[in-house]
Amino acid sequence: MAKRKRRTFTPEFKAEVVLEALRGESSQAELCRRHNLSEDQVSKWKQQFLENAASLFESTNKASEDAAERIAHLE
């Protein structure tokens, strides 16, 4: 019996599906049928998206300041 290959999805596809689900233009069940996905998978993607959404608005200066401070300390 041949094993089924595991599907992989690009981050762009995941974001597109999640945004479509959050817009509410169609039900999550309909969205899953259209893209041949399980509802659990879409729910996990939505949860990951919402948990990490705040990091999009964080200042990148903070990270560069921390890196510069670390480099100065190492030198």
- Scanning the structure block, which residue is given the tokens 């309909």? 30
Q: Where residue 3 falls among pLDDT bands split at 50, 70, 90? A: confident
Tokens of 69: 């401070």
Q: What is the pLDDT of residue 63?
A: 65
H and E: helices and strands count for the chain:
4, 0
Q: Give 13-68 pLDDT, tens digit per residue.
A: 999 999 999 998 889 999 999 999 999 999 999 999 999 888 877 766 666 777 77
Who's near 57: CB < 8 A, 6+ residues apart?
A: none
